[in-house]
Chains A and B, each alone.
Chain A
Amino acid sequence: MTIFDASRPGRRGVELPAAKTSTPAGLAEGELRRDLAWPELSEPEVIRHFVGLSRKNHAIDVGFYPLGSCTMKYNPKINEEMARLPGFAALHPLQPEETVQGALQLMWELQRDLAEITGMDRVSLQPAAGAQGEQTGVLMIKAYHRARQDLERTEVLIPDAAHGTNPATASLAGFDVVEVASDKRGGVDLEALKAKLGPKTAAVMLTNPSTLGLFEDNIVEIARLTHEAGGLLYYDGANLNAILGKCRPGDTGFDVVHVNLHKTFSTPHGGGGPGSGPVGVKEHLAPFLPGPTVGQDESGFHLVVGGPQSIGRMRSFYGNFGMHLRAYTYIRALGKDGLTTVAEDAVLNANYLLHLLKDRLTVPYERLAKHEFVVSLPKAIKEQTGVRTLDVAKRLLDFGVHSPTVYFPLIVDEAMMIEPTETESKETLEAFAAIVGTVLDEAVRDPEMVKTAPHTTPVRRLDEARAARQPDLRYRPQ
C-alpha cells in the first residue's frame, strides 16, 4: 500500500493557525494552479505508514552490514543528539557571523583536524558527498594546470579496480579517462602506469588501500612517476578508515584528497545520503579551493570566500553542516587514541574474517588485507551447481545479515567485497562466517534453495527487467 492509496479526501495531518484570506491576494487566475494531487492523511496514519516502511529495511542497528567499500560502521547516538540542538539545527546559514561563532569554530576545528588526519595543508568542507569531493578535486587540478598555462593535459589515469565515480567525475570535468591495469598482486601495474603517463597526464586518481582492500605499497614510486610526468595525484578517501593514525595520504605524495565523513567518520548513511565529502589539498592547490572556508583571526571565526583562482562554489552555503557536526563529535569522542584503534580493529576484523572464510571461498590475492577484502565464489561450486555469487548474496539475507558488495571490483570474477568495520564483535564475525559456510553447503546440497533465495524477506527477488522495460516511476490514479 502506498501513501497515495491510503489517502482519504478531507483528512489532515497538520493544523495551522487560520489564514485571513482564502487565496493569495493580487494573483490573477491564470497565475494559479488548479489542484495539487497529494495524498490526505491524519498524523497517526502517516506515522504508521512510515514506521511500517522502516521495518522493511535492513540497517546497521538491525544487524551485520558488511558492504565492502561503504564502511557501514556503527553511528554513535550522541552525534544525533548533538545535531538536533537548536543552537545548531536552528541556525540560518546567512545569519550575522557574530551570532554563529560556535558553528564556525566547529567547522574551523574540523578543517584543521581533517588536515592533520590526512596530512594536507588546507581543507574545504563544502563538497556534499564523496563524488562531489572528487569533482572538486579534479576541477582544482584542471584549474591548476590552466593557471600554469599547461594546457595540453587532457587525460586522467584511473586503475581498472576503481570505483565508478572516478571515471564519471573525470569525464564530467572534461578529461579523457585512461584506464591503468592492475598487476598480479592487485596493485597498480607500474609498467602499465609508466606507459600511460606523459605530457597529456593531468592526474592519477587512486584509492589507497585500493578497492581490493590492499595497501598500494608502491605508492611512493607512483607519486614520483606521476609528479615527474607533470601530473598531480588524487586520493579517493573511500578507504581512509584502514589507515587512520597509521599513514597519511599527504605524506605519501598525494596532492589532493577527499574524505567521506559518512564512511570514516560515522555520519549516518541515511539510506543513501546525505553524505559529506570535504577536500584537503597541499599548499600549491590552496588558491583553487572552493569557498567559503572558515578562517580565524583575533576577532573570531569568519567565512572566507574563495580567491580569484577558486573554482567557485560546489553547492549552496558551506556544505552539509549537520554532517560536519556529527563527524566533529565523533572525532572528539575518539581522539587520537580512539581513531588509531579504529584503524587497528577495522584491519584486525577484516583479516580475522578473511581467515575464517579463506578455506571456503577463493582468495584472488593472498596478501594482508586492510579494512576489507575481496573473495570469489569457488569456480567448482558455480560449475557444478549453477549457483552464482548473486544467489549466495540473496541467500545471506535470509539469515538476517546484509550481503557483501557483489560483482565489484570489476576485475575479480564473481566478486564479494567484505568490509566488517571495527564496530563488530568477534562473535558477529564468527557467526557470519558460519552463515556463509551454511549457504555454501546448501549450494551443493540444495542449489535450488540458494538460487531462489531470499525466502523470508519482505519481498522476494524482484523483476528488474520489467521495472526497466515498463517504467512505473510514480503514482498515477487508477
Chain B
Amino acid sequence: MRFTPHTAAERAAMLDALGFSEVMDLFADLPAEVRLGRDLNLPLGMPELELDRHVRSLADKNRHLGQMPSFLGAGAYDRFIPAAVSEILRRTEFYTSYTPYQPEVSQGTLQAIWEFQSLVAALYEMDVAQASLYDGATAAAEAMMVAVAETGRQGVVVARSVDPQVRSVIRTYAQGRSLQITELALDEDRCDLLELDRLLTDQVAVLIVQQPSFLGAIEPVAEMVESAHRVGALAVVIADPIAHAWLKPPGAYGADLAVGEGQGLGVAPSFGGPYVGLMAARQGLVRRLPGRIVGRTVDVDEKPGFVLTLQTREQHIRRQRATSNICTNQGLIALAATVYMSLVGPEGLRQVALLSHEGAEDLKGRLLAIPGVTALGPAKTFYEFAIRLPKDAREVNRRLLADGFIGGYALAADYPELGAGSWLLAVTEKRTKDEIAAFAKAVADAL
C-alpha cells in the first residue's frame, strides 16, 4: 500500500517489540460480537494509473462550464480565477497543515486569516470580521444566532427575496432554539416595505435581507436597516462581495452584521462546494461572533505575530455555552479568497463587477426586446436579473442546452407566485459580447 511505509519485516519487528505475534492481537479489545468478521463490500484498491483513468472517466461524463457558456448564477458563479490563486493553494505548507493550535509554527495560516479578516472588514466597511464560516448560507444562519443571543428575542424576519437555500438553512438552524421565522413578502421584484413595518415588533431579534437580492434587485437596504433598529432588532445584510465593489457597503448604513458567500472571490464552482462564508460585525458584537478570530500581538522578543484570540467564545473552552459549535474555519478557501482579493485589489474588483454589470445590462436589453419577454418589476439590478418569459423557463433551458448554453435559473419552484416563465440570469466578466449576443438569439429562437 503506497501511502503506508511499513514492510512486512518492519511490521513483524514492531509487533514483536509489543509482545504480539499477529496484527489481530492489536484488536483483542474488540469484543467478538462487534467484529466485522468479513471483508468490507468494496472493490480492491487501484494502482494510481488505473485510478487516474477511472476518476477521469467520471469527470468526462460531465459537461462543464468551459464547454458551454453559462448564464446561470443563483448563488454560484462562473468567474475568472487568476492562475496565481491556484498556485498558492497548491502550497502543501498551506493545505496539509491544520488549524493553528501551535501559533509559533502556524504563522503563515494565522497571518493569512488576519489579512482575510482585514479584507472582509474593509469590503463591508464593518469594524471586525471573523476567520470565515462554511458558506454564505451558514454565515447567515450564524448571524441570526448572534442577533438572538444579543437581543434575547425569538422572532426572525427574513425577506422572501433572500436566496431560498439560505432561507432553508436558516429554518434548519432555527429548529434547535425554537425561533419564530416570518417571511417578508415581495412587492413585485423587491421587499414589501409596508409589510415590513407590520412585521417588525418588539419581539423581533433580527431582520435578514440580501443585497442585491436573490432576484438580482438592489433593495432599499438602508431604509430597512433603519426600520429594524426602530424596534430594537438587529439587521443582518447578506451582501454579495462582487456587487459591493460599487454598492454602498453595509457598514455605511448601520448594519449590525454583514455576511456573504465568498465563492465569487477566486473559488471554483466545484458543483457547490467547498465555498466560504464571510462574516463581519460592528465592534460591540465581537464577543458573540461564532468561530475563529485571529489577533495580532507580539512574542517574547517583541516581534509581531498572530494568534487565535477571544477563544472563550468557542466550543473547546466553553463547551455547551459556546457561541457556536463550529470548530475551525474554512481555511484553504478563505486563503483562496485572500489571495484573490490581494491580486485584484480595489481597481480589479471594480472592473470585474463593472464588466459583469455591463454584460448583464446588454443581455437584459436584448432579452427585453424580444416580444413577450417582460421585466419582473422596476428594480435596478447589478449583474444578475430576473425576467418573465412567455413560456415555461424549464422548457427554454432545455432548448438552450441543446444549443450548447447553460440557461438561467427557473424561479417558479421557489417562487410559484412569479409564474412558470420567471427566469434568473447572471452575467460574469467571463461572458464575451459574442456569447451574450448568441445567447440572446438562442433565447429568441426558443420562444
Contact = CB atoms under 8 A, between A and B. Distances in A.
A380 interface: no
B328 A129 contact: yes
* B26, B39, B74 — most chain A CB neighbours (10 Å): B26
A27 B361 CA distance: 12
Given A31-B218, A49-B342, A247 B35 contact: yes
Contacts of B301: 460
Contacts of B118: 2, 4, 474-475
Contacts of B338: 3
A333 B51 contact: yes
Interface in B10-68: 10-11, 13-15, 17-18, 23, 26-31, 33-36, 39-46, 48, 51-52, 54-66, 68
B107 interface: yes
A19 interface: yes
Contact of A46 (B14, B86, B339): B339
A344 B36 CA distance: 14
A165 B72 CA distance: 37
A315 B293 contact: no
Nearest to A25: B361
A284 interface: no
A308 interface: no
A272 B329 contact: yes
Interface stretch (A67-75, A227-235, A442-450): A67-75
Interface string B111-148: 11111011101110100110110111110000001000
A454 interface: yes
A170 B320 contact: yes
B318 interface: yes
B325 interface: yes
A101 B62 contact: yes
* B2, B14, B115, B320 — most chain A CB neighbours (10 Å): B320
A313 B354 contact: no
Contacts of A307: none
B415 interface: no
A472 B109 contact: no
Interface in B47-106: 48, 51-52, 54-66, 68, 70, 72, 74-76, 78, 80, 82, 84, 86-88, 90-106
A255 interface: no
Contacts of B191: none
Given A13-B82, A25-B361, A36 B97 contact: no
B297 A462 contact: yes
A379 interface: no
B30 A50 contact: no
B274 to A, nearest CB: 4
Given A245-B40, A316-B169, A348-B23, A468 B309 contact: yes
Interface in A305-344: 311-323, 325, 328-329, 331-342, 344
A19 B315 contact: no
* B52, B63, B103, B303 — most chain A CB neighbours (10 Å): B63
A473 B271 contact: no
Contacts of A13: 82, 84, 342-345, 348
* A95, A100, A328 — most chain B CB neighbours (10 Å): A95
Interface stretch (A188-196, A212-220, A381-389): A212-220
Nearest to A408: B316
Contacts of A347: 26-27
B172 interface: yes
Interface in A26-43: 26-27, 30-33, 35-41, 43
Contact of B299 (A36, A106, A461): A461
B96 A59 contact: yes
A435 interface: no
B331 A58 contact: no
Contact of B345 (A40, A99, A328): A40
Given A322-B274, A352-B14, A50 B112 contact: yes
A contact residues, range: 35 or more
Contact of B26 (A92, A220, A275, A348): A348
Given A33-B246, A39-B345, A165 B128 contact: no
What is the predominant secondary structure among interface residues of chain A facing chain B? loop
A22 B10 CA distance: 68
A335 B46 contact: yes
A129 B409 CA distance: 28
A30 B48 CA distance: 58
Contacts of A116: 40-42
A403 interface: yes
A57 B97 contact: yes
Nearest to A100: B62
A212 B344 CA distance: 47
Nearest to A274: B274
B74 to A, nearest CB: 6
B62 A351 contact: no
A157 interface: no
B363 interface: no
16 contacts: A2-B118, A32-B248, A33-B125, A50-B91, A58-B102, A62-B92, A90-B268, A135-B176, A172-B176, A269-B331, A271-B108, A273-B99, A273-B329, A336-B45, A342-B4, A464-B309
* A72, A94, A408 — most chain B CB neighbours (10 Å): A94
Interface in A68-84: 70, 72-76, 78, 80-84
A49 to B, nearest CB: 7
Interface in B351-375: 351-355, 357-358, 361
A344 B26 CA distance: 8
Contacts of A37: 122, 346
Given A142-B175, A317-B271, A337-B1, 11 more contacts: A25-B358, A31-B248, A33-B244, A41-B343, A50-B88, A58-B102, A87-B58, A90-B64, A134-B325, A219-B31, A274-B332
Interface string B311-340: 100111111111011111111111100110
A339 B40 contact: yes
A340 B41 CA distance: 12
Contacts of B355: 16-17, 19
Given A47-B88, A132-B134, A471 B286 contact: yes
* B52, B316, B326 — most chain A CB neighbours (10 Å): B326
Contacts of B135: 128, 315-316
A463 B297 contact: yes
Contacts of A90: 64-66, 78, 268-269
